[in-house]
C-alpha cells in the first residue's frame, strides 16, 4: 500500500496513520549530506546504528567523483519515521553530526508513491 499525499499530510500532522495490519506503510527518509571525510563519517554512522530505532535498513548513494557527498535512503514503517526525523533535529544529534564531520544536511520524509519502469 502506498501513502498518497493526503495521508502523508495526516501522518506528518498526527505522527501516525492507522492501516490494516496486513498492509504496511513504507516511509522513506532521504538524507542528503556533505561531509568532511567519508571514512570518518562512516565510522560514526555505523556506531550510531542502535539509535536508528524502527529503521528497516537503507542505502548510501555516494556521488560519482565526490565520495564526501551522498544520499542515505532509509526505510521505515509508520510512526517510527516521524520519530526518527524529530530525533535527528535534536541538539544532541546535531552535535553528533557535527562531530562526525557533517558539513551540510537535508532530511526529507517521503512516501513510496511512484514506481518507475525499466
CATH code of 5-16+23-111, in short, is: 3.30.70.100
pLDDT in tens, 83-116: 888 888 899 888 988 988 999 999 888 875 566 6
- Cell readout for 2 is 502506498
**Cβ(72)–Cβ(58) below 8 Å:** yes
User: What is the share, in percent, of the chain residues with pLDDT greater than 70?
Assistant: 72
pTM of the entire predicted model: 0.71
Is residue 61 scored above 70 in pLDDT? Answer: yes
CB-CB contact of 77 with 25 (8 Å):
yes
Distance of CA 32 to the CA centre of its chain: 9
Amino acid at each position: 500500500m502506498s501513502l498518497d499525499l493526503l495521508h502523508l499530510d495526516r501522518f506528518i500532522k498526527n505522527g501516525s496513520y492507522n492501516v490494516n495490519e496486513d498492509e504496511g506503510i513504507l516511509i522513506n527518509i532521504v538524507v542528503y549530506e556533505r561531509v568532511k571525510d567519508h571514512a570518518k563519517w562512516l565510522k560514526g554512522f555505523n556506531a550510531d546504528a542502535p539509535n536508528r530505532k524502527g529503521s528497516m535498513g537503507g542505502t548510501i548513494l555516494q556521488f560519482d567523483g565526490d565520495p564526501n557527498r551522498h544520499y542515505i535512503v532509509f526505510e521505515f514503517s509508520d510512526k517510527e519515521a516521524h520519530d526518527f526525523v524529530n530525533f535527528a533535529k535534536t541538539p544532541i544529534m546535531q552535535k553528533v553530526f557535527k562531530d562526525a564531520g557533517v558539513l551540510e544536511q537535508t532530511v526529507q520524509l517521503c512516501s513510496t508513491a511512484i514506481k518507475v519502469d525499466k
